[in-house]
Amino acid sequence: MSFYDRFMGIYDRDYLQDDYGTARRRVQFAMPALPPVVKWLLIINIGIYLVSFLIPPLGERIYGFGTVYPSGWGNIAQVWRLISYQFLHDPRGITHIFFNMLMLFFFGPLLERHWGSRRFLKFYLCAGAAGGVVYTLLVILGVLEALPMMGASGALYGMLGAIAVMYPHLRVYFFGIVPMSMRTTAILAVVVSLLFFMQGHNAGGEAAHLTGIVVGVLYVLYQPLLNDLRMKKNKGSWSRKIENERMFVVEVDRILEKINKDGLTSLTPKEKEILREATRREQEQLHR
């Protein structure tokens, strides 16, 4: 066998195939698929922005109908605004929606995969709604002037607060340049929002930011307590359900004893209904 044959034969050995070496390996890089809630939040936010930008008259109606604008008790009573405002962004520029959606794109999947889609969506909307409530209260108290408020920042800052507690040492790059932990990022966000709020620069938005962070932090810190309360509630529900089933069986036994003693015609309409329900349950058990 020639040197060429021996040399080329090396690459036919198992330990130098795709699973072992790089001679014939084809590497593919792909972004992980977005979880469903984050994906649809991105689609809805960007879609509304584009429609409002491309069709200004329609955009004016959407923003007039959907922003949090506590200029009077009539608007304050329109509670849907606490949710709808989270999907609206300033159509006069792209910066507002760009950075918000960028934050949702990078941080949202982490929470949705950890909590599950339903729980994540509830948290997201509640954190944003809390920001709208606090802003409205500040207007009512005369601390802030009533202006239309829009944007997903309250919900996004809620995510930031939650992640800062859950993953405090997670490394991120501030503005894509400066590396820092999630805890430091959250603290910096709070400081900046406080400074802007005190200076009156976008005070309503900054109030929503701060509220969102507080909601996110408290939600994670008090989650064990909430879980205990939920378990106690479920335990009570199961206890009641077991007791109800026991009483149902006792009642069915009484009715059967009555039939055996006095006949079927002696049953009241309610007793007949209980007997039919018992028969239905027995048939369900047989068909499982």
pLDDT at 175: 63
Residue 6 forms part of a structural domain: no
CA 258 to CA 119: how far, in whole Å?
A: 50
pLDDT at 230: 67
Residue 194 forms part of a structural domain: yes
265 and 135 inside one domain = no
CA 41 to CA 38: how far, in whole Å?
A: 5
Residue 271 forms part of a structural domain: yes
40 and 171 inside one domain = yes
170 and 115 inside one domain = yes
**Which of 92, 96, 93, 99 is CA-nearest to residue 60?**
92
Residue 240 forms part of a structural domain: yes
113 and 255 inside one domain = no
Per-residue model confidence as pLDDT tens digits over 42-73: 999 999 999 999 999 999 999 999 999 999 89
113 and 196 inside one domain = yes
Q: How many residues does the chain have?
A: 288
Strands 171-174 and 178-181 turn out to be antiparallel
Answer whether 0.95 is exceeded by the pTM: no
Q: Residue 270's domain spans which residues?
A: 234-287
158 and 198 inside one domain = yes
196 and 281 inside one domain = no
Number of domains in the chain: 2
144 and 281 inside one domain = no
* 70 CB-contact burial (10 Å; exposed 0-12 / middle 13-18 / buried 19+): buried
Residue 24 forms part of a structural domain: no
Which CATH number fits the domain that encloses residue 209? 1.20.1540.10
171 and 193 inside one domain = yes
Residue 26 forms part of a structural domain: no
87 and 179 inside one domain = yes
* 99 CB-contact burial (10 Å; exposed 0-12 / middle 13-18 / buried 19+): middle
End-to-end alpha carbon distance in the chain: 70
137 and 78 inside one domain = yes
Residue 245 forms part of a structural domain: yes
Per-residue model confidence as pLDDT tens digits over 153-169: 999 999 999 999 999 99
pLDDT at 287: 66
Counting as low any pLDDT under 70, the low residues of the chain are 1-32, 174-176, 228-230, 232-239, 287-288
216 and 280 inside one domain = no
